[in-house]
Amino acid sequence: MPYKKPVSVLVVIHTPALDVLLLERAKHPGFWQSVTGSQEDDEALIDTARREVAEETGIVASRDELTDWRLSNRYEIFPEWRHRYEPGVTHNTEHVFSLCVSQAGPVMLAPGEHLAYRWLSWREAAAACFSWSNHDAILMLSSRMRPVRSSP
């Protein structure tokens, strides 16, 4: 099995009202996150984001529907996952994207990767994330996108 590249994407999927989709990791029940995944070969980061969204949720998004935040985070790879990378690789660079969907709805989870999903308000979603970079991105969402509430 080839080594993973230490380059990944984080895609915050949300509604206009800023309800955020979180996925529960299969190998770590209780760990909730947005869509994440590693870049493959020489694919463009936006294509990595599109592929991971489709693989993990079944949502097919065009390049135009994704927003590249032009923000990256560098973090230490958990020791338990370092075997996936070339020997000596200890850090990953994560690039942040978002995807606004019209409404919260059902998604198709990737078998073996996620156990469950839930839609939460952006504040609740940020609090539920185990990853600091995911937490921070969701908090930034409220300043990047103005919540739109439906009319009574």
In the predicted model, what is the mean pLDDT of the chain?
94
Instruction: Please say whether the structural domain 7-144 has been given the CATH code 3.40.1800.10.
Output: no
Contacts of 105 (CB under 8 A, 6+ apart): none
Backbone angles phi and psi of 72, in degrees to 5: -130, 150
Beta-bridge partner residues of 116: 24
Supply the pLDDT for residue 68: 97
CA pair distance 145, 122, nearest whole angstrom:
11
User: How far lies 127's CA from each of 32, 50, 83, 116, 132, in Å?
Assistant: 10, 25, 29, 17, 10
* pLDDT for 32: 98
Share of the chain above pLDDT 90, in %: 88
* Predicted structure pTM score: 0.93
pLDDT tens readout for residues 49-70: 999 999 999 999 999 999 999 9
Burial 79-103 (b: 16+ CB within 10 A, else e): eeeeeebeeeeeebebbbbbbbbee
Q: Which residues of the chain have pLDDT under 70?
A: 1, 146-152
Given this model, what pLDDT does residue 4 score?
A: 94
46 and 106 in contact (C-beta within 8 Å)? no
Domain residue limits, the chain: 7-144
